[in-house]
Structure 1
Amino acid sequence: MEPWAILSLVVLAWVWHGSMRAREIACAEARVICHRMAWAWLDETVSLKSLGFARDGHGRLRLRRIYAFRYLEATHLIREGVVMLVGDQIQTVLLDTARLDA
């Protein structure tokens, strides 16, 4: 196998592994917030809404991932929340119009 093909597979596996870890972190945060607020977390999953680059707190360029999740609040309205990660750190959580900074 060609060296460039092997390198491409390694990079692809590295990105995939990082994406799965980020998704797990976003799911855990959505679960905690819904439990804390006594909301029902619909589908118990998150979906990737945006992927880009951002600088972390140390100025390093990292992948920025934005995940969305849906929840049912006490008034029985279905709402959407968003978890933004820079690298594997939670940067911001948005709940419709409410904002909670990590």
Structure 2
Amino acid sequence: MSDLLAIFLLLLLGWFWLDSLRAREIAVGICQAACVQRDLQFLDQAVALRRLGLAWRAEGVRLRRVYRFDFSEEGTGRRSGYLVLRGLHLEELSFGLPDQVADA
């Protein structure tokens, strides 16, 4: 029985590792696209996992990951934003920038 438990734990660890790689790739793609859309530079082409937890919703339990990324507005300076994925779906994206107001 302990061998079966060890195999199950190894399979669970393998699934978690592959799911985390896929979530990271999705987060990088979302950040790249959002930076291009807002005319910002996505620095380092990378995201960093800041928090990992569980989220209970109507569709069931999902992993909730919070990633941090860096960007630049004019090529000088570095600002940080964050991205929240629930499962493999975008829940929130924030650049921490004020909303742009159209000139009247």
Instruction: Check conservation: 1:55, 1:86, Cα contact below 8 A.
Output: no
Report the counterpart of residue 7 of structure 1 in structure 2: 8
CA distance in structure 2 between the partners assigned to 1:98 and 1:5 by the alignment: 50
Alignment length, in residue pairs? Answer: 98
Instruction: Check conservation: 2:82, 2:95, Cα contact below 8 A.
Output: yes
Code of the residue aligned with 2:88 in structure 1: it is D
Runs (4+) of structure 1 exceeding 4 A deviation are none
What's the % identity of the aligned pairs?
33
Structure showing greater Rg: 2
Report the counterpart of residue 19 of structure 1 in structure 2: 20
Partner of 2:76, secondary structure, is coil
CA root-mean-square deviation: 1.9
Shift of 1:74: 2.5
Shift of 1:97: 4.2
- Normalised to the residue count of structure 2, the TM-score between the two structures is 0.84
Report the counterpart of residue 95 of structure 1 in structure 2: 95
Higher normalized strand content (fraction of residues)? 1
Code of the residue aligned with 1:4 in structure 2: it is L
Shift of 1:75: 7.2
CA distance in structure 2 between the partners assigned to 1:13 and 1:75 by the alignment: 39
Report the counterpart of residue 81 of structure 1 in structure 2: 81
What are the ranges of 5 or more consecutive residues in structure 2 without an aligned counterpart? 100-104
